[in-house]
């Protein structure tokens, strides 16, 4: 049996670093939070090679006394709490005293700090060991430089993402901190290039403009609410300004960015059904009594426990609902009719002009039956006939309803499940089920080979998917087509069928790089957050392949000079949704992204049912025979349902 022994201080620091310091962004977070706790009003963050080479955080806070520098780099040494009672009344961002010790355990750290702006102290640490300490000169505040992160834990380096991804993580955390502290001027620079700069004047909307763009900030709505326990303030976007992921929702509790599913859901509940599956842009700053918050539940303090969480959720929902109602009321006629500004001179000319009212009826104007004037002698007779006809119809409808209720009560509770596997001649799959199972289990991943790159399907399923028989059109009903082949009845959803054809056409043009483009007389300007801008810059070649000719214009802005002709509707809205889809996608290879874009475009282009002529419906059936998957659209929505003669017989319970 192995002997129990106490771990060395260096080893315990490295273990603690594994909990607190996961990546360069974790270092930035801990150092910036320390600067905020030191009452800094200006903080500058500089990173080199996405923080893998060097991270520097400088502030103008209170600084550290020379005789306390060693204590600052010891585990569980802090100035923020004194005893166990303070754990339930934490008003600072940090309190454990683990950050500097954990960073120094896995990197080279140098600190330059001054408390008076005249004399300063410079010290260096590496691997948890102090290298030197000397006197120096510096302005009031602290500058900490971290280099060669994870130099003594190479296994940690192995699991870091690409430099671009690590930089985006740093950008994201600095953005959240800036939104939580608009009173602090924050600057972020990467390899000498400034990515973010906030003024620090306490204006949250101005910070939103610096992070998400001026156009977004102009459309944000103010939310305010409070109760005896919580005070809520923030900005939310209207229902017409959305994104495809939750990444644009920031919830800040006492200045700390937190992740809380229930509070995020409460925010979405305030929109009701206006979002349509999208997510708003929101910044919610919540002030609460520290006694109601337990932040000592997670190493990075992103997850907290809240007392009266349900009450806070209701407060958020009501605040968002009221803000949206105010927006609707501010819009003329609730945005049902366009609003046109008119000068007083135009109004005066209109009032003085004779015969300004155009009494001509439009060409498609029709009077209601009740509006048609009839001779006085026929009025009573007509009213009497209409009354008798109405009573007759109502009596007939009541009898039909009673008859249907009677049939429902007397009918057997049995039903036919069309998805149930049956062993009859109409089902190809069941006749060779065992053989298909054997073929599938011989394929990966069942056979232990490489990961399957495509769904495992039987030969019969592939045959059915690739071929739709020649159908004869029977008719249309409410946007659905009825057709037959070989005595079988086929029901087709025209929207799903048209989306499948649209998807195949767009995907073919994308893969062959045959995008026809529509040029613009003046380029369209798209503003992005620093996070999204950095991601899209690397995807400009892919955007060109999609037909979007976009140019980097600097300052988190892209210019679009042309767009593909398969984009229909409002160009700005369609392009923004397309870019959001790319930003939120987890697909990395170009082919998967092309399929994703084609599916989204097909769904947007074909959004409603239309009345097809007989020739158009027959042409739709003909083209569907050569579709890649005629039975479903790109999103998996069923397009074709087949009912065999046996299915129809069972539906009508024949043969019993």
Residues 99 and 231 in one domain: no
- The answer to whether residue 192 sits within a structural domain is yes
- Strand, helix or coil for residue 301: coil
**CATH code of the domain containing 177:** 3.30.565.10
Helix (H, G, I), strand (E, B) or coil at 54: strand
Rounded distance between C-alpha atoms, residue 92 and residue 97, angstroms: 12
Q: Is residue 228 part of a domain?
A: yes
Q: Which of 119-123, 434-438, 567-571, 608-612 has the lowest mean pLDDT?
A: 434-438
Q: 317: domain range?
A: 219-332
What six digits make up the tokens of 74? 């010891």
Q: What is the pLDDT of residue 57?
A: 95
Instruction: Give me the pLDDT at residue 213, please.
Output: 87
Residues 223 and 273 grouped into a single domain: yes
242 inside domain: yes
Is the domain of 115 the same as that of 184? yes
> What is the average pLDDT across 254-259?
88
Residue at a domain's end among 332, 361, 379: 332
More confident residue, 135 or 332: 135
Residue 452's pLDDT is what? 45
In which element (H, E) is residue 287 found?
strand 282-288
Does one domain contain both 189 and 327? no
Together in a domain, 233 and 97: no
User: Could you tell me if residue 349 is inside a domain?
Assistant: no
Q: DSSP secondary-structure letter at 335?
A: G
Please check whether residues 227 and 120 belong to one and the same domain: no
Q: Are both 156 and 230 inside the same structural domain?
A: no
Indicate the residue among 332, 361, 378 that finishes a domain.
Answer: 332
Range picked from 109-123, 547-561, 586-600 for highest mean pLDDT = 109-123
Helix, strand, coil in percent for the chain, rounding step 5: 40, 20, 35
Burial class (CB in 10 A: 0-12, 13-18, 19+), 501: buried
Straight-line distance from the first to the last Cα atom of the chain, in angstroms, rounded to the nearest whole number? 75
Q: Considering the domain boundaries, does residue 40 fall inside one?
A: yes
Q: What is the DSSP letter of 370?
A: G
Contacts of residue 588, defined as CB under 8 A and 6 or more positions apart, other chains included, come to: none
Question: Does residue 95 carry a pLDDT above 60?
Answer: yes
403-413 residue pLDDT tens: 555 554 444 44
Q: In what order do the strands lie in the sheet with 193-197?
A: 129-136, 120-126, 108-114, 141-147, 54-59, 42-48, 185-190, 193-197
- 151 and 72 within one domain: yes
pLDDT at res. 128: 81
Is 359 inside a domain boundary?
A: no
Element spanning 256, H or E: strand 256-258
Least confident of 81-95, 219-233, 440-454, 512-526: 440-454
Mean pLDDT confidence for 185-214: 92
- For 405, half-sphere exposure in the C-beta direction (CA atoms, 13 angstrom radius) is 6
- Average of per-residue pLDDT across 558-574: 82
Name the least confident of 153-167, 192-206, 589-603: 589-603
For the chain, the average pLDDT equals 78
110 & 230 share domain? no
| Domains contained in the chain, number | 3
Mean local confidence (pLDDT), 175-190: 94
pLDDT at residue 402 in the model: 55
| Domain termination residue (choose one: 197, 228, 263) | 197
Tokens of 413: 């509770």
Specify if 224 maps to a domain: yes
Kindly list the distances between the CA atom of residue 5 and the CA atoms of 8, 12, 118, in Å, as whole numbers in the listed order.
9, 13, 47
Helices (H), 57-147: 69-72, 99-106
Same domain? For 15 and 160 the reply is yes
pLDDT(141) > 90: yes
Which range among 113-127, 265-279, 282-296, 353-367 shows the weakest confidence by mean pLDDT?
Answer: 353-367
Residue pair 286/254 in contact by the 8 Å Cβ criterion:
yes
At residue 554, the pLDDT reads: 81
Say how far apart CA 427 and CA 440 lie, in whole Å. Answer: 19
CATH code of residue 311:
3.30.230.10
Residues 325 and 228 in one domain: yes
The pTM of this model reads: 0.66
Looking at the structure, do residues 177 and 287 belong to the same domain, yes or no?
no
Does the structure show a pLDDT above 90 at 460? no
pLDDT tier, 418 (very low <50, low <70, confident <90, very high otherwise):
very low
467: Cβ–Cβ under 8 A, 6 or more apart, which residues?
625
> Counting Cβ atoms within 10 Å, is residue 36 exposed (0-12), middle (13-18) or buried (19+)?
buried
Number of CB atoms found within 10 A of residue 618's CB: 16
What pLDDT shows up at residue 335?
43
Token couple for 139: 């302005």
- Asked if residue 458 belongs to a domain, the reply is no
Predicted pLDDT at 630: 87
pLDDT at 411: 46
The HSE-up count of residue 356 (CA atoms within 13 Å, CB side) is: 9
């Amino acid at each position: 049996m192995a002997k129990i022994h106490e771990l060395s201080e260096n080893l315990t620091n490295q273990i603690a670093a594994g909990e607190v310091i996961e990546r360069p962004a974790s270092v930035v977070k801990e150092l910036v939070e320390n600067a905020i706790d030191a009452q800094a009003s200006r903080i500058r963050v500089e990173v080199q090679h996405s923080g893998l080479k060097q991270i520097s955080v400088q502030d103008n806070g209170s600084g550290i006394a020379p005789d306390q520098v060693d204590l600052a780099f010891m585990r569980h040494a802090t100035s923020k709490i004194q005893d166990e009672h303070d754990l339930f009344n934490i008003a600072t961002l940090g309190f454990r005293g683990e950050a500097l010790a954990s960073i120094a355990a896995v990197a080279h750290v140098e600190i330059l700090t001054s408390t008076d702006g005249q004399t300063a102290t410079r010290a260096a640490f590496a691997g948890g060991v102090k290298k030197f300490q000397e006197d120096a000169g510096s302005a009031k505040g602290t500058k900490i430089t971290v280099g060669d992160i994870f130099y003594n834990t190479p296994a940690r380096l192995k699991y870091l993402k690409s430099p671009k991804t690590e930089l985006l993580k740093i950008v994201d955390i600095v953005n959240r901190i800036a939104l939580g502290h608009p009173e602090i001027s924050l600057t972020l620079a990467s390899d000498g290039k400034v990515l973010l700069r906030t003024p620090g004047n306490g204006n949250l909307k101005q910070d939103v403009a610096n992070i998400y763009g001026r156009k977004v900030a102009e459309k944000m709505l103010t939310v305010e609410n409070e109760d005896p326990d919580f005070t809520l303030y923030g900005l939310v976007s209207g229902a017409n300004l959305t994104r495809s992921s939750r990444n644009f929702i920031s919830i800040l509790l006492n200045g700390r960015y937190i992740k809380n599913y229930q509070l995020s859901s409460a925010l979405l509940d305030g929109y009701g059904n206006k979002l349509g599956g999208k997510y708003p842009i929101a910044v919610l700053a919540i002030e609460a009594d520290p006694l109601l918050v337990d932040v000592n539940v997670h190493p990075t303090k992103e997850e907290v426990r809240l007392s009266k969480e349900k009450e806070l959720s209701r407060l958020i929902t009501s605040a968002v609902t009221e803000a949206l109602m105010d927006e609707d009321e501010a819009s003329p006629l609730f945005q049902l009719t366009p609003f046109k500004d008119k000068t007083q001179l135009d109004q005066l000319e209109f009032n003085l002009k004779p015969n300004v009212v155009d009494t001509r009826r439009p060409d498609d104007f029709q009077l209601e039956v009740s509006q048609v004037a009839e001779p006085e002698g026929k009025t009573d007779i007509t009213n009497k006939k209409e009354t008798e006809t109405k009573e007759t119809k109502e009596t007939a409808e009541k009898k039909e309803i009673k008859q249907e209720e009677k049939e429902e009560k007397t009918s057997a509770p049995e039903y036919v499940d069309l998805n149930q596997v049956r062993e009859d001649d109409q089902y190809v799959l069941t006749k060779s089920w065992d053989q298909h199972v054997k073929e599938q289990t011989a394929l990966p991943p069942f056979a232990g080979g490489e990961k399957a790159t495509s769904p495992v399907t039987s030969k019969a399923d592939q045959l059915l998917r690739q071929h739709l028989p020649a159908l004869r059109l029977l008719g249309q009903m409410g946007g659905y087509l009825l057709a037959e082949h070989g005595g079988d009845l086929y029901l087709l959803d025209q929207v799903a069928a048209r989306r499948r054809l649209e998807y195949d056409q767009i995907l073919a043009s994308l893969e062959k790089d045959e995008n026809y483009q529509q040029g613009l007389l003046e380029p369209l300007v798209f503003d992005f957050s620093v996070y999204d801008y950095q991601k899209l810059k690397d995807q400009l070649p892919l955007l060109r392949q999609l037909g979007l000719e976009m140019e980097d214009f600097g300052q988190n802005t892209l210019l679009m000079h042309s767009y593909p002709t398969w984009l229909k509707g409002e160009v700005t809205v369609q392009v923004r949704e397309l870019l959001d889809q790319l930003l939120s996608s987890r697909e990395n290879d170009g082919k998967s992204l092309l399929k994703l874009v084609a599916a989204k475009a097909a769904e947007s282009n074909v959004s409603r049912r239309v009345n097809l002529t007989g020739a158009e419906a027959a042409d739709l059936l003909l083209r569907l025979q050569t579709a890649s998957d005629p039975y479903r659209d790109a999103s998996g929505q069923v397009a074709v349902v087949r009912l065999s003669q046996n299915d129809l017989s069972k539906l009508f319970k024949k043969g019993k």
